């Protein structure tokens, strides 16, 4: 009995020591994340950091459950705005990643070194190869750590790597690398022709953009600029091979600064599902069932999303199209890409009314999205 009591006591001491060590580590991680967010001008939401570098949305997620005990796993990402429409999936051959492209086929770039290192998928091989010019290929081969789990999709670029200790130096270097890659992708868009299913749209979209002094690109089919007094982007979004919808994004002139992401649960992109997201609920069953909400400043967000505004968001979501709200703006999704883009100003009108309501709730003493 004495021996059993001795071993039981030893086990309890070991368990308590582990709990204490984990608690200390968590407190240290919390302090580090706060320091890093402040140093880099990012917003912290739990173990996620969000912000912009050189105009590109970036972020990182820290997990402490890496395969090797005591290691930290960082996921650093940069988003493409607007997303591509190529059905693109690129990852290193050493890492098996679930196919998230819904039917896109393998693409050979005819660069032996690149094809040996990366697996490439996309809908139309010629469009994918047009994007992956020599400069972008070199950026990917030169800038990525061989041990990193890497993925480039229509939505953006992400790298995941496990390290003995999370540190600001690696985090900063990772953000710099992915910002450079995203910038190279944005530059290379100009090489890519319009998607085959949207070729008949191209003429009317170009004419509309010219008449309203808007800019345009072909990957995706997109036009942007000032429309009805607001900065607006309208662009095609790939749902599957040959299946595209339209998103209209109204950008706030003054970001909300809440670390806010509100989007329909059924349209959460697969990249976000793969790397995780924290869900904050407001206690409104219909609203919480409809939207995924992520916030940094919970109290200010809950004050903003009062019952009348939640009803307004749900109404537009149901009548106009799936709706998203972030610090940077409002976005609505339409089921198809119209040949005639004159429908865009009408939808922008709905978003402008909603932006005005948001500005009123932010208060006269704070900068709202539109004054």
3-state secondary structure 77-114: EEECCCCCCCCCEEEECCCCCCCCCCCCEECCCCCHHH
Q: SS3 of 241, please? A: coil
Q: Per-residue confidence of the chain (371 residues) as pLDDT tens digits? A: 555 454 554 444 444 444 444 445 556 667 878 888 888 888 887 778 888 888 898 988 877 655 555 567 778 899 998 999 999 999 887 765 555 555 567 878 888 899 888 999 999 999 999 999 999 999 888 877 766 788 999 999 998 877 766 677 877 888 888 999 999 999 999 999 999 999 999 999 999 999 999 999 999 999 999 988 889 999 999 999 989 999 999 999 888 888 888 999 865 544 444 434 457 777 888 998 999 888 877 888 888 989 999 999 999 999 999 999 988 899 999 999 999 999 999 999 999 999 999 988 876 435 445 44
What pLDDT shows up at residue 124?
93
Q: SS3 for 18?
A: helix
* All CATH 3.30.1460 domain ranges in the chain, comma separated: 39-191
**Lookup: tokens for 20:** 């204490």
Nearest Cα neighbor of 313 from 322, 282, 303 is: 322
**Strand-pair category, 48-53 with 230-240:** unpaired
pTM above 0.75, yes or no: yes
Location of structure tokens 């998230």: 100
Quote the Cα angle for 297-303-306, to 5°: 135
Burial 271-295 (b: 16+ CB within 10 A, else e): bbeebebeebebeeeebbebbbbbb
CA angle 243–244–249, rounded 5-degree value: 165
- What's the 3-state SS for 248-286? EEEECCCCCCCCCEEEEHHHCCHHHHHHCCCCCCCCCHH
Query: CATH assignment of 39-191, given 1.10.3300, 3.30.160, 1.20.1640, 3.30.1460?
Result: 3.30.1460
């Amino acid at each position: 009995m004495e021996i059993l009591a001795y071993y039981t006591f030893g086990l309890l001491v070991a368990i308590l020591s582990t709990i204490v060590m984990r608690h200390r580590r968590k407190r240290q991680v919390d302090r580090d994340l706060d320091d890093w967010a402040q140093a880099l001008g990012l917003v912290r939401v739990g173990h996620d950091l969000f912000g912009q570098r050189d105009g590109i949305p970036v972020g990182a997620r820290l997990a402490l459950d890496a395969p090797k005990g005591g290691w930290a796993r960082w996921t650093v990402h940069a988003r493409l705005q607007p997303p591509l429409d190529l059905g693109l999936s690129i990852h290193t051959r050493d890492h098996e990643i679930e196919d998230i492209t819904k039917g896109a086929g393998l693409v050979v770039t005819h660069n032996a070194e690149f094809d040996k290192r990366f697996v490439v998928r996309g809908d139309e091989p010629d469009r994918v190869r047009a994007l992956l010019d020599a400069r972008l290929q070199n950026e990917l081969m030169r800038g990525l750590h061989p041990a990193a789990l890497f993925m480039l999709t229509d939505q953006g670029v992400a790298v995941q790597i496990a390290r003995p200790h999370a540190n600001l130096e690696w985090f900063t270097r990772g953000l710099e690398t992915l910002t450079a890659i995203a910038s190279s992708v944005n530059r290379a868009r100009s090489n890519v022709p319009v998607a085959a299913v949207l070729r008949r749209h191209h003429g009317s979209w170009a004419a509309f953009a010219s008449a309203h002094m808007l800019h345009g690109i072909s990957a995706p089919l997109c036009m942007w600029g000032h429309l009805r007094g607001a900065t607006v982007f309208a662009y095609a979004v790939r749902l599957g091979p040959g299946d595209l919808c339209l998103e209209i994004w109204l950008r706030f002139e003054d970001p909300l600064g809440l670390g806010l992401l509100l989007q329909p649960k059924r349209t959460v992109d697969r990249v976000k599902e793969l790397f995780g997201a924290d869900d904050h609920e407001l206690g409104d069953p219909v609203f919480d069932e409809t939207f995924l909400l992520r916030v940094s400043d919970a109290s200010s967000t809950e004050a903003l999303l009062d019952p009348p505004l939640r009803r307004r968001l749900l109404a537009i979501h149901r009548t106009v199209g799936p709706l998203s709200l972030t610090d940077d703006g409002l976005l609505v999704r339409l089921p198809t890409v119209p040949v005639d883009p004159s429908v865009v100003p009408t939808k922008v009108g709905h978003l402008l009314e909603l932006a005005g309501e948001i500005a009123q709730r932010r208060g006269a003493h704070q900068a709202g999205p539109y004054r």
